[in-house]
């Protein structure tokens, strides 16, 4: 525990700073205005003009035929996994991937498939690891049918794949007849960090899920992108999952706004994350920090704190962050974190 002196010296943020996740953003005036003025219809009848525009916009952005608007990234991923597999199949994914750790066992529950976990590097797998994990055609073994990548990788501290590594994975999947899905909940962070384009990704993956409700600042929403035939099947599964929405255009308008206005600015979130990480690096209670490639900071907590007591301490100073393990804390920058807040967070860290 910290000493009382430390508590007295530390600097309080003058406003709440929520660094728990980039999902905590609230729509600003311009996004709300777009939502209020959206033209809507019944999207289960495929008659909502704003949803249709959003789906066409996203598909075109990635150079693909179609996309499907879903309420959440989890649903997009789960629909993709369900459509790519049959019961009893095996899905290759990294051991800390969202589809495995944080989707409520959905791969088993929704698709009746099982996972083959790979011990990757900060959430990233290599082609040779995947090749090694593919089962031979043998009645004893589950049929390997799908590989899921995550870019950026959340538990990897927002780490990014290199395009050449994905190309090798794609080639391995093509050779073995496996589908390749990307959990791209934070793909735009990776694109901005590495100067890549959505089209490059559209060419490498069979399907991509992107989230609108994270760095892009929408209240809800995700898009599953792929070819027309796949998206038709996905639309059916979305209905089965209870994700068929009616006048969803009010929400889809936020997605269109976000894709048109909120991508480039992600660079600012990355700068803010690096600035906060620099301040953390100076502190004796901070151990190793994962490289800050995008908007996520994950660091080891050392004595006198534990991850829990440090997050409690930050909370006293109006800074919210998350203990993701007994010894690790995560901070995430986003649209609702401005320069002034970052300065105050840094002052607070320095004063602790």
> Which residues neighbour 124 within 8 Å (Cβ) at sequence distance 6 or greater?
94, 149, 153, 156, 159, 161, 165
Instruction: Point out which span in 1-9, 36-44, 71-79, 133-141 binds ligand PLP (CB under 6 A).
Output: 71-79
Asked if 251 contacts 220 with a C-beta cutoff of 8 angstroms, the reply is: yes
Q: Among positive and negative, which fits the CA dihedral 273, 276, 281, 284?
A: negative
Provide, rounded to whole angstroms, the least separation between the CB of residue 2 and ligand PLP. 30
Closest CA to 82 of 56, 60, 55, 103: 103
Among residues 25, 50, 67, 74, the one that binds ligand PLP under rule CB under 6 A: 74
d(CA 81, CA 8): 52
Q: Is 78 in the site for ligand PLP (CB under 6 A)?
A: no
Residue corresponding to tokens 């728990």: 20
Among residues 183, 196, 293, 344, the one that binds ligand PLP under rule CB under 6 A: 183
The partner residues of 67 in beta bridges, in order of sequence, read: 225
d(CA 119, CA 91): 14
CA–CA distance from 310 to each of 256, 285, 337, 341 (Å)? 38, 9, 20, 19
Closer to ligand PLP at the Cβ: 73 or 349?
73
Q: Using CB under 6 A as the criterion, what x/- string covers residues 306-325 for binding ligand PLP?
A: --------------------
Residues that bind ligand PLP (rule: CB under 6 A) add up to a total of 12
Distance linking the first and last C-alpha atoms of the chain: 12
Provide, rounded to whole angstroms, the least separation between the CB of residue 263 and ligand PLP. 17
Provide, rounded to whole angstroms, the least separation between the CB of residue 99 and ligand PLP. 7
Q: Is 98 in the site for ligand PLP (CB under 6 A)?
A: yes
Of residues 6 through 45, those in contact with ligand PLP by CB under 6 A are none
Closer to ligand PLP at the Cβ: 67 or 154?
154
* Cα dihedral value 291, 292, 297, 299, nearest 10: 20
Closer to ligand PLP at the Cβ: 22 or 48?
22
Provide, rounded to whole angstroms, the least separation between the CB of residue 207 and ligand PLP. 14
Provide, rounded to whole angstroms, the least separation between the CB of residue 89 and ligand PLP. 21
Closer to ligand PLP at the Cβ: 183 or 206?
183
Provide, rounded to whole angstroms, the least separation between the CB of residue 218 and ligand PLP. 10
Residue corresponding to tokens 């791209």: 184
> Which residues neighbour 57 within 8 Å (Cβ) at sequence distance 6 or greater?
256, 259
Q: Is 90 in the site for ligand PLP (CB under 6 A)?
A: no
Closer to ligand PLP at the Cβ: 148 or 179?
148
Of residues 215 through 274, those in contact with ligand PLP by CB under 6 A are 222
Provide, rounded to whole angstroms, the least separation between the CB of residue 108 and ligand PLP. 17
CA–CA distance from 208 to each of 14, 90, 214, 289, 333 (Å)? 40, 19, 16, 29, 23
Provide, rounded to whole angstroms, the least separation between the CB of residue 122 and ligand PLP. 13
Cβ atoms within 10 Å of 116's Cβ, excluding its own: 16
Q: Is 189 in the site for ligand PLP (CB under 6 A)?
A: no
Among residues 192, 211, 225, 337, the one that binds ligand PLP under rule CB under 6 A: 211
Q: Is 150 in the site for ligand PLP (CB under 6 A)?
A: yes
159 DSSP 8-state letter? B
Helices (H) and strands (E) in the chain, counts: 15, 13
Closer to ligand PLP at the Cβ: 76 or 145?
76
Q: Is 207 in the site for ligand PLP (CB under 6 A)?
A: no
- Interface residues toward ligand PLP, by CB under 6 A: 72-74, 77, 98, 150, 154, 183, 185, 211, 213, 222
């Amino acid at each position: 525990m910290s000493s009382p002196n430390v508590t007295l010296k530390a600097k309080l943020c003058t406003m709440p700073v929520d660094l728990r996740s980039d999902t905590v953003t609230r729509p600003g005036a311009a996004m709300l205005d777009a939502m209020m003025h959206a033209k809507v219809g019944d999207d289960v009848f495929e008659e909502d003009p704003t949803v249709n525009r959003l789906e066409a916009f996203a598909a075109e952005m990635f150079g693909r035929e179609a996309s499907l608007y879903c309420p959440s990234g989890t649903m997009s991923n789960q629909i993709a996994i369900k459509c790519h597999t049959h019961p009893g199949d095996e899905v290759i994914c990294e051991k800390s991937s969202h589809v495995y750790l944080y989707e409520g066992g959905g791969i088993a529950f929704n698709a009746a498939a099982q996972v083959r976990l790979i011990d990757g590097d900060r959430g990233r797998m290599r082609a040779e690891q995947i090749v090694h994990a593919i089962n031979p055609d043998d009645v004893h073994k589950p049929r390997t049918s799908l590989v899921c990548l995550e870019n950026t990788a959340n538990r990897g501290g927002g780490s990014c794949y290199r395009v050449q590594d994905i190309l090798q994975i794609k080639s391995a999947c093509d050779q073995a007849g496996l589908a390749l899905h990307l959990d791209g909940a934070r793909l735009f962070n990776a694109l901005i960090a590495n100067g890549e384009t959505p089209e490059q990704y559209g060419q490498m993956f069979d399907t991509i899920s992107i989230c609108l409700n994270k760095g892009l600042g929408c209240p809800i929403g995700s898009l599953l992108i792929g070819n027309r035939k796949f998206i038709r099947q996905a639309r059916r599964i979305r209905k089965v999952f209870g994700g068929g929405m009616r006048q969803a255009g009010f929400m889809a308008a936020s997605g269109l706004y976000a894709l048109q206005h909120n991508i480039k600015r992600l660079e600012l979130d990355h700068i803010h994350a690096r600035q906060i990480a620099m301040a953390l690096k100076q502190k004796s209670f901070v151990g190793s920090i994962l490289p800050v490639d995008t908007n996520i900071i994950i660091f080891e907590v050392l004595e006198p704190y534990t991850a829990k007591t440090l997050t409690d301490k930050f909370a006293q100073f109006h800074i919210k962050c998350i203990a993701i393990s007994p010894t690790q804390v995560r901070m995430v920058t986003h649209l609702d974190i401005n320069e002034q807040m970052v300065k105050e967070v840094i002052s607070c860290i320095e004063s602790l």
